[in-house]
Chains A and B, each alone.
Chain A
Amino acid sequence: MTTSAPGSRIPAVLVLEDGRTFRGRAYGAVGATFGEAVFSTGMTGYQETLTDPSYHRQVVVMTAPHVGNTGVNDEDPESARIWVSGYVVRDPARVPSNWRSRRSLDEELRKQGVVGISGVDTRALTRHLRERGAMRVGIFSGNALPDEGTMLAEVRQAPEMAGADLSAEVATEEAYVVPAIGEKRFTVAAIDLGIKGMTPHRMAERGIEVHVLPATATAEDVYAVAPDGVFFSNGPGDPATADHPVAVMREVLSRRTPLFGICFGNQILGRALGFGTYKLKYGHRGINQPVQDRTTGKVEITAHNHGFAVDAPLDGPAETPYGRVEVSHVCLNDDVVEGLRLLDRPAFSVQYHPEAAAGPHDAAYLFDRFVSLMEGQRA
């Protein structure tokens, strides 16, 4: 059939760990893959999503039916490779159209060996995940597929996301520097737990020289770059396993160095302060989430990608070993903690993505807040 992307003749099956299956066609590479099934509701930004290291070991279901329309360019990836372990779409583009497009998404997925499936009822799948929660999944494609029982058994053998320590798998092995754009004003040590390319860029735009350090970096490594501030990035996996970064962060907090965390970094701050973290039923993944800044009452539309959240009290500041902390931001859809702010030390974090790639730029002011903290520390 000539009706969709190359390879579409090849059958594919998506098998959820609770036994529900969806049949479709192979998309991208042909083979088998496993991961945690999550859905993302963004209508734009598939390139950024695919290359976001936080999606490591996740099979991403796109709720937007048409994917690949603008092809793949060389400017928009958030890291050097695609991280999703599998990709589920309804209607892949046959012809990409954009003046920046270099190649088709299908081609890119195949080149990078990413197994996907197309032509499935992604809405039914999304509703299933919404009702039953994120769960393990397998995608199997090829002309000789195993029987359903075998596929299901394989899915159930795949590792779970809860308890997974994945930062080291996605982070840089070597430290590197992102130079400030224009005049350099500050130095920041950024712990890479799965950092997205846009994050150091947003800092660089503000005159920050960013020293991106591996996930395994110690407090000594951090202070070796003489930072004005320390940043903890986003990243995949269960924050409950992130004992090493929690320990490093506590050191930073004790030294009162300005600190900013995003996503995984927010969960680490939560843990460093003594709060627990927990797994959301199906997470927040999209670029339309309303978050309220509780200090100003303003609502910002934000990009989210998190399956875990911090368990902190919403009804007023809490005492911690590092002084008082308040929940600074909440998601208005479900009251999930979306940001923490220390009242007695220069530290704050957000659960969502102010670097916004993909997503709205409403929360870019948080990078300015980080700059203000560093300025305050100097003064």
Chain B
Amino acid sequence: MPKRSDIQSVLVIGSGPIVIGQAAEFDYSGTQACRVLKSEGLRVILVNSNPATIMTDPEIADATYVEPITPEFVEKIIAKERPDALLPTLGGQTALNTAISLHEAGTLEKYGVELIGANVEAIHKGEDRDQFKTVVEAVNARLGHGESARSVICHTMDEVLAGVEALGGYPVVVRPSFTMGGAGSGFAHDEEELRRIAGQGLALSPTTEVLLEESILGWKEYELELMRDKNDNVVVVCSIENFDPMGVHTGDSITVAPAMTLTDREYQVLRDIGIEVIREVGVDTGGCNIQFAVNPEDGRVIVIEMNPRVSRSSALASKATGFPIAKIAARLAVGYTLDEIPNDITEQTPASFEPTLDYVVVKAPRFAFEKFPAADATLTTTMKSVGEAMAIGRNFTEALQKALRSLEKKGSSFDFVSEPGDKAALLEKAAVPTDGRINTVMAAIRAGATQEEVFAATRIDPWFVDQLFLIHEIAEELRGAAELEPGLLAEAKRHGFSDAQIAAIRGLSEEVVREVRHALGVRPVYKTVDTCAAEFAAKTPYFYSSYDEESEVAPREKPAVIILGSGPNRIGQGIEFDYSCVHASFALSEAGFETVMVNCNPETVSTDYDTSDRLYFEPLTLEDVLEIVHAEQQAGPVAGVVVQLGGQTPLGLAQALKDNGVPIVGTSPEAIDLAEERGAFGRVLTEAGLPAPKYGTAFSFEEAKAIAAEIGYPVMVRPSYVLGGRGMEIVYDEPSLAGYLERHAGLISEHPVLVDRFLDDAIEIDVDALYDGHELYLGGVMEHIEEAGIHSGDSACALPPITLGGFDIKRLRSSTEAIAKGVGVRGLINIQFAMAGDILYVLEANPRASRTVPFTSKATAVPLAKAAARISLGATIAELRAEGLLPAEGDGGTLPMDAPISVKEAVMPWTRFRDPSGRGVDTVLGPEMRSTGEVMGIDNVFGTAYAKSQAGAYGALPTKGRAFVSVANRDKRAMIFPARELAAQGFELLATSGTAEVLKRNGINATVVRKQSEGPGPNGERTIVQLIHDGEVDLIINTPYGTGGRLDGYEIRTAAVARAVPCLTTVQALAAAVQGIDALTRDEVGVRSLQEHAEQLTAARRA
């Protein structure tokens, strides 16, 4: 049966900003879906507030709305576009929840929009825990297998307490309903923990509902990915087994595909249950993910949960098997059946089959606890990782070791050299799941633990434990061998040892090991991910390396460009870089090159086998990249390697690649180095006559002290060569400086520390530009909303700049050009300036794609990354203008007067983290980047654009109610006008005594409320924190105090996070918010697609 003919247009909802638990994987799935629907001839309307996504590229959908994903805004889009159908299953929990709200509000019915992909009843059955229990019972009645953990549903704390009794006591699992990534769930071992976790869970759940459940800690955990079509054909795409047993969120577990420790009988039981569950729930055109726990003692199967939509696991499963779940889900949603859809990889066989793997896939999570030192790093059922790496090998050991080195984090690979420590202590440590537990287990093995001891401590399946022992035995053999003979070396490589690991064990350098290995002819081969274990020929070159016999890389004619991706997402290096890599691939393919992508992040569009001509799913280390370059050079001509687009990861490899004879295209590694090295860069600035804040480079505390004394406190200190402001701090005095250097001894052991003058009260400006050696194209100028000192990644910004004039732009342009020329840029450069008084300081320059490239590209309707890729390979800006890739005239610095204003807002992961005693972590912004994602608000005026950015990031700004104001002394003057405006909008202002006094003296009425430190009043008057917790405050303005006092507002801000009250921590944000509230109040907020904005811009540019 062909596709439905009654659907001509489809609205696809994306997943919004990258947050923990909902990341780039939904860009991957959404992009696939939009492309498929468009190729089916449907009009695709897309809404997603995240500008860093490929799916919001104007060519992916017919009408792209970068608007907040809230029922209000989506309704506006529906009213305008009148789509026939809404596909909500590809944008994570955000899309699903929005679709349900629209359904419940009657919006879908009102506009005659059909929900496709999943029906409301199925969504409820899958997501509502009570209903899902009924589903599992029905399945059990049919199969005699599968049950739910014994549980009780609770809506109040009293019910929660009674529930524990009913389950027979602690520990219990608490799971709030309808939250994504397991937000708010956890184990409660006693009443205190229970009250905390369940209290928060009740607050987080949109239905004020939590489920209490018997503990199945330590059981084996599995997942199945299933797809079903309207003819009731069901296939299991992939089985996944968690290395970490039950108790750790699957997003935080090391996971393995296919399942490794199930007999066929047990596997078929899971499969039967999975199929009956998808039928019973009623997902009839799409995919779902089902999680199981299996008791290792007797095989009892508990069905934990199901997601009636495309999920993070389905993205992983797609990459792990080559079966594109989202793409097929989109086809099923418009009426195709599985047997009508061809398998892309074989082209000859249909999608109605189950992939079989002749390799092993390991996914490892990437955490960012170093960014949140106060947060509890214990892994629980709430997801805390910010990214992941996937690796493929021909066996588990190879895949595991590749995955660990793909994480690209100090200490992530097994260490066989340093002193392991005390066995008993290590086993005790390994008993608690944390980031790096697997390394602790390896240390315990090295310290003499037996397999039984490791299992007893961790409950990690004995087969996996033995695999770790196997790795350890090889390491010992490497250590003990008289010489590195070919058999042993090959054996070590077959089990995933890197040259660096072998070098460390043998006391050699990595280069020497590599030379020996090459001399002995021990090199990897590249195998194909083909969905069918070689039963049919694969047409899609999706490769992974293995130390095996036969390589499958085919010769080619066209020159290849190898693009290095950005590796696992982490704070400071995320989807924005993937965006640039994907764009480079598209642009270079169009320009006649064969594109070769290298990346290890399964969440991304770059690792979709459709994106580039060839895909190598490989770690981004020097060794792995050199081998790929070698393999591709054997296959045909290689024009060069692109390193500037994937962020710090490929950039860090540039020089070493070049030293190994690999051609690097675009800005040379020497130029990159020039910009990073402060002394050399300082000379560039001096030659160009540009001021930079006073700074110095220190290799010791003595040097740092002298520099700081000369510059004058406060100073900003940070290690060189880091991204995302890792380790960056504002230091106010000498003791703090000493403390800083002690804390970051690890980071600065390899690189010196930079000490900069901290510019208080300066306006920070970001510029993205292209330079081809002759001409500069100013991509865009972004004015930060928060003052300098807050990491640019965490700061909101506006483009075009809202307070800069023509003269300023002119200065920015000439400075940018001078730097680009001085550094020797061929491609993109990002420069951060600070305007203090009337002086334009250069803070730093990065000759590479920046985090803001996608935002700038979307705000100005110019594909900067594509242009950069072309310039890297020799095109000039003039040529690109002639071609039409860049505008014929003008650039991002000469935007027409009526150009739309775009505001980028950062999204912070505060709600995800708690300290060990369960309190929230502080939300104050600083020089170290901590945001996970971003949204964009675009409109004709700043206020509306800012309001949209807030609605997209945190929920809409309030237009009435109570606003609490408490600001640092230095902000008190700047606060008066916006506060007056708030009062004029009808807000009741609350303030602590000091702030209230200032307001009153300026004729603004404010109600005095008690500080938390004052405690409740004699008549039970509540403190501000209590008021926030009681839901009586609608907006919070709380700017942190300067030196020493940064923790004063801690409890206010954490309460704001807990109650999801908008909380502004800078006075500049307050001013912007007031403009936004004004726009909202006047109800002037409309929606407009990027295509419409672009049309207006293009027309204005021509005029």
* A interacts with B: yes
List residues of A whose CB falls within 8 A of some B CB: 1-3, 22, 39, 41-45, 47-48, 63-66, 69-70, 73, 75-76, 90-91, 93-100, 120-124, 126-127, 130, 286-290, 292, 297-299, 301, 332-334, 356-361
CB-CB < 8 A to B262: which residues of A? Answer: 44, 70, 98
B1053 at the interface (CB under 8 A from A): no
Q: Do B267 and A44 touch (CB < 8 A)?
A: yes
Q: Do A76 and B268 touch (CB < 8 A)?
A: no
Shortest beta-carbon distance, A91 to chain B, in Å?
4
Q: Do B349 and A65 touch (CB < 8 A)?
A: no
Write the chain A residue with the least CB distance to B396: A66
Q: Do A361 and B356 touch (CB < 8 A)?
A: no
> Chain B 736-776, CB within 8 Å of chain A: the 1/0 string?
00000000000000000000000000000000000000000
Shortest beta-carbon distance, A68 to chain B, in Å?
10
CB-CB < 8 A to A287: which residues of B? Answer: 264, 354, 356
Shortest beta-carbon distance, A107 to chain B, in Å?
16
Contact of A69 among B260, B350, B451 (CB under 8 A): B260
Q: Do B466 and A94 touch (CB < 8 A)?
A: yes
Q: Do A299 and B263 touch (CB < 8 A)?
A: no
Distance in angstroms between the alpha carbons of A130 and B530 in the assembled complex: 14
Write the chain B residue with the least CB distance to A64: B358
Shortest beta-carbon distance, A362 to chain B, in Å?
8
Shortest beta-carbon distance, B441 to chain A, in Å?
15
Distance in angstroms between the alpha carbons of A115 and B462 in the assembled complex: 27
Contact of A286 among B261, B299, B356, B527 (CB under 8 A): B356
Q: A2-B473, A22-B549, A44-B267 are in contact. Are A63 and B261 (CB under 8 A)?
A: no
Q: Do A43 and B339 touch (CB < 8 A)?
A: no
CB-CB < 8 A to B535: which residues of A? Answer: 39, 41, 63, 126, 130, 286
Q: A44-B267, A64-B533, A99-B299 are in contact. Are A70 and B354 (CB under 8 A)?
A: no
Distance in angstroms between the alpha carbons of A288 and B267 in the assembled complex: 13
Given contacts A45-B263, A63-B356, A100-B263, 6 further A-B contacts (CB under 8 A): A47-B264, A94-B470, A123-B527, A292-B339, A332-B352, A357-B264
Q: Do A123 and B350 touch (CB < 8 A)?
A: no
Distance in angstroms between the alpha carbons of A297 and B350 in the assembled complex: 14
Shortest beta-carbon distance, B727 to chain A, in Å?
41
Q: Do B264 and A41 touch (CB < 8 A)?
A: no
Q: Do B536 and A44 touch (CB < 8 A)?
A: no
CB-CB < 8 A to A292: which residues of B? Answer: 339
Distance in angstroms between the alpha carbons of A76 and B299 in the assembled complex: 15
Q: Do B473 and A41 touch (CB < 8 A)?
A: no
CB contact list, B256-282 vs A, under 8 A: 258-268, 271-272
Shortest beta-carbon distance, A299 to chain B, in Å?
4
Q: Do B298 and A333 touch (CB < 8 A)?
A: no
Q: A44-B267, A45-B263 are in contact. Are A90 and B395 (CB under 8 A)?
A: yes
Write the chain A residue with the least CB distance to B267: A44
CB contact list, B346-399 vs A, under 8 A: 348-350, 352-360, 394-396
CB-CB < 8 A to A127: which residues of B? Answer: 534, 550
Shortest beta-carbon distance, B191 to chain A, in Å?
35
CB-CB < 8 A to B983: which residues of A? Answer: none
CB-CB < 8 A to B676: which residues of A? Answer: none
Distance in angstroms between the alpha carbons of A45 and B355 in the assembled complex: 16
Distance in angstroms between the alpha carbons of A43 and B534 in the assembled complex: 13
Distance in angstroms between the alpha carbons of A93 and B550 in the assembled complex: 23
Q: List 19 A-B contacts (CB under 8 A).
A: A2-B473, A42-B356, A43-B356, A76-B263, A76-B264, A76-B265, A91-B394, A95-B462, A97-B463, A126-B534, A130-B535, A287-B354, A290-B339, A301-B235, A301-B352, A301-B354, A334-B349, A360-B268, A360-B271
* Overall SS of chain B's interface: loop
Shortest beta-carbon distance, B814 to chain A, in Å?
59
Shortest beta-carbon distance, B22 to chain A, in Å?
30
Q: Do A98 and B358 touch (CB < 8 A)?
A: no
B297 at the interface (CB under 8 A from A): yes
Q: A66-B260, A66-B396, A91-B395 are in contact. Are A99 and B353 (CB under 8 A)?
A: no
CB-CB < 8 A to A65: which residues of B? Answer: 358-360, 394-395
Shortest beta-carbon distance, A319 to chain B, in Å?
29
Q: A44-B264, A69-B261, A95-B463 are in contact. Are A332 and B353 (CB under 8 A)?
A: yes
Shortest beta-carbon distance, A287 to chain B, in Å?
8
Distance in angstroms between the alpha carbons of A332 and B349 in the assembled complex: 7
Distance in angstroms between the alpha carbons of A95 and B465 in the assembled complex: 9
Distance in angstroms between the alpha carbons of A111 and B470 in the assembled complex: 25
Write the chain B residue with the least CB distance to A129: B534
B338 at the interface (CB under 8 A from A): yes
Distance in angstroms between the alpha carbons of A95 and B461 in the assembled complex: 11
Write the chain B residue with the least CB distance to A72: B263
Q: Do A333 and B350 touch (CB < 8 A)?
A: yes
List residues of B whose CB falls within 8 A of some A CB: 231-233, 235-236, 239, 258-268, 271-272, 296-299, 337-339, 348-350, 352-360, 394-396, 451, 461-463, 465-466, 470, 473-474, 477, 491, 495, 527, 532-537, 548-550
Shortest beta-carbon distance, A222 to chain B, in Å?
32
CB-CB < 8 A to A333: which residues of B? Answer: 348-350, 353, 536
Distance in angstroms between the alpha carbons of A334 and B343 in the assembled complex: 13
Q: Do B550 and A121 touch (CB < 8 A)?
A: yes
Q: A288-B355, A332-B339 are in contact. Are A130 and B261 (CB under 8 A)?
A: no
Q: A41-B532, A48-B264, A359-B268 are in contact. Are A297 and B358 (CB under 8 A)?
A: no
CB-CB < 8 A to A332: which residues of B? Answer: 339, 349-350, 352-353
Taking each of B338, B461, B534, which has the highest tally of chain A beta carbons within 10 Å of its own beta carbon? B534
Distance in angstroms between the alpha carbons of A69 and B463 in the assembled complex: 7
CB-CB < 8 A to A44: which residues of B? Answer: 259, 262-264, 267-268
Shortest beta-carbon distance, A336 to chain B, in Å?
12
Distance in angstroms between the alpha carbons of A93 and B349 in the assembled complex: 32
Write the chain A residue with the least CB distance to B399: A65
Q: A42-B356, A97-B261, A332-B339 are in contact. Are A297 and B462 (CB under 8 A)?
A: no
Q: Do B338 and A97 touch (CB < 8 A)?
A: no
Contact of A126 among B338, B360, B533 (CB under 8 A): B533
Q: Do A290 and B296 touch (CB < 8 A)?
A: no
Shortest beta-carbon distance, B265 to chain A, in Å?
6
Q: A332-B339, A333-B348 are in contact. Are A124 and B549 (CB under 8 A)?
A: yes
Write the chain A residue with the least CB distance to B492: A3
Contact of A97 among B298, B337, B461 (CB under 8 A): B461
CB-CB < 8 A to A47: which residues of B? Answer: 263-264
Q: Do B534 and A99 touch (CB < 8 A)?
A: no
Q: A70-B263, A359-B268 are in contact. Are A97 and B395 (CB under 8 A)?
A: no
Q: Do A99 and B550 touch (CB < 8 A)?
A: no
Shortest beta-carbon distance, B792 to chain A, in Å?
46
Distance in angstroms between the alpha carbons of A353 and B588 in the assembled complex: 49
Q: Do B548 and A121 touch (CB < 8 A)?
A: yes
The 3 tightest CB contacts between A and B, nearest first, are A45-B264, A121-B549, A124-B550
Distance in angstroms between the alpha carbons of A262 and B988 in the assembled complex: 80
CB-CB < 8 A to B396: which residues of A? Answer: 66, 91
Q: Do B299 and A3 touch (CB < 8 A)?
A: no
Q: A42-B264, A97-B463 are in contact. Are A1 and B360 (CB under 8 A)?
A: no
Write the chain A residue with the least CB distance to B531: A288
Shortest beta-carbon distance, A7 to chain B, in Å?
16
Shortest beta-carbon distance, A181 to chain B, in Å?
14
Q: Do A43 and B451 touch (CB < 8 A)?
A: no
Distance in angstroms between the alpha carbons of A90 and B258 in the assembled complex: 16
Shortest beta-carbon distance, A295 to chain B, in Å?
13
CB-CB < 8 A to B259: which residues of A? Answer: 44
Q: Do B264 and A289 touch (CB < 8 A)?
A: no
Q: A288-B353, A333-B353 are in contact. Are A358 and B474 (CB under 8 A)?
A: no
Contact of B548 among A45, A96, A123 (CB under 8 A): A123
CB-CB < 8 A to A123: which residues of B? Answer: 358, 394, 527, 533-534, 548, 550
CB-CB < 8 A to B360: which residues of A? Answer: 65-66
CB-CB < 8 A to A130: which residues of B? Answer: 534-537
Taking each of B239, B263, B272, B355, which has the highest tally of chain A beta carbons within 10 Å of its own beta carbon? B263
Distance in angstroms between the alpha carbons of A334 and B268 in the assembled complex: 25
